[in-house]
Structure 1
Amino acid sequence: MSHLPLPLPEGAVCALIGAPGSGKSTFAARFPSTWRLNLDTYRALATDDEADQTATPVAAQIQNLLLDARLSRNLRVVVDSTNLHAHVRAGLLARARYWQRPAVAVLFDVPLDTVLTRNSTRRRVVDPHVVTDLHQTLPTTEQLRDEGFETVYAISEAALDF
């Protein structure tokens, strides 16, 4: 699978971590579509509106069902959501541990100005205050390793030209 943007071990859970507009979905699109899980997609399927945050609980249930289905078969998974909250990452790590699969984090450590500019040109613009608040919760690579991610890749502004 040398055409992939990153080497992912068989059966790995790969969490993309970053603020809206940091390039996660553009990056995720380089992986096979069957590998990608995205809460926006499941919110849209449940409500016809990917921005409807009231659908997040059901979207998370769908994501977890698909995550378990893939991990039980030792298939790779790329979780394309902000994954900025520690409890969300802890849930992904718990599933990886349960299925005895490797956990990989891809941290989109992109400057706030770049993220805000990119967000402003997206099809669905997230409120800039929300983006700023989320950007401030960005973990460090050391934090991610301490949480239990076996491999951590950091993507900076310089690497955004995928």
Structure 2
Amino acid sequence: MDIRVPENSLIQLCGAPGCGKSTFAHRYFLPTQVVSSDHCRQMVCDDVHNMRVNKETFSLVRHIVRLRLSLGRLTVVDATSLRRVYRSEMQALAREYGFHTVLILLDMPLSRCLEQNRNRDRQVDPIVIEKYHQQLQTTKERIKGEGFDQVVLVTEEDLPDVTVYLEVNTTDRKG
């Protein structure tokens, strides 16, 4: 599966915890291009598990994204991105700076998310993963009406064959 995105893109990764968003981000993008909510949470309070600092965490995420876009830099947001309000905030920032908006939905089976969760350092409660996995199904049904320039659905079957290409000097931005 080839994913082609203009270099002036704000890419949001979207998926349940444990689906492989961070692995995907680090496989296809430079570490400096990725703005991770987990990393920002850790920067804010020294504890990646502390969900009580979400307001501060996402304030930092938005700040870093704004800075990168203001400098014309490709930016990848590594967060669940399952709440429409959050996706809309990122879209508004992208539009403010004339960036192409891309949403990559990582649609992995619940069993894979739960298994990968068991094998990582920062584990999420399986009930939370189930809830977010269900939210992803709803998001998939509604995403077409949200105005993204590009929506890419990556399934477990697609994952081994994904290649991401950055298109240089693209002038086909919509909106």
Normalised by the length of structure 1, the TM-score is: 0.91
| Alignment: residue pair count | 157
Matches within 5 A, 1:6-155: 6-30=3-27, 31-138=29-136, 139-140=139-140, 143-155=142-154
Q: How far apart are 1:61 and its partner, in Å?
A: 1.2
Letter in 1 for 2:22: S
More strand by share: 2
Q: How far apart are 1:113 and its partner, in Å?
A: 1.3
Cα distance in structure 2, aligned partners of 1:159 and 1:115: 16
Superposed CA offset, 1:45-86 (max 9, x none): 121111101121111111111111111122110000000111
Gaps of 5+ in 2: 163-175
Q: How far apart are 1:24 and its partner, in Å?
A: 0.5
TM-align CA RMSD: 1.5
Identity %: 35
Divergent runs of 4+, >2 A = 5-8, 142-145, 159-162
Structure possessing the higher relative contact order (Cα contacts under 8 Å, 6 or more residues apart): 2
Cα distance in structure 1, aligned partners of 2:41 and 2:15: 19
Normalised by the length of structure 2, the TM-score is: 0.84
Cα distance in structure 2, aligned partners of 1:27 and 1:7: 15
Cα distance in structure 2, aligned partners of 1:72 and 1:42: 19
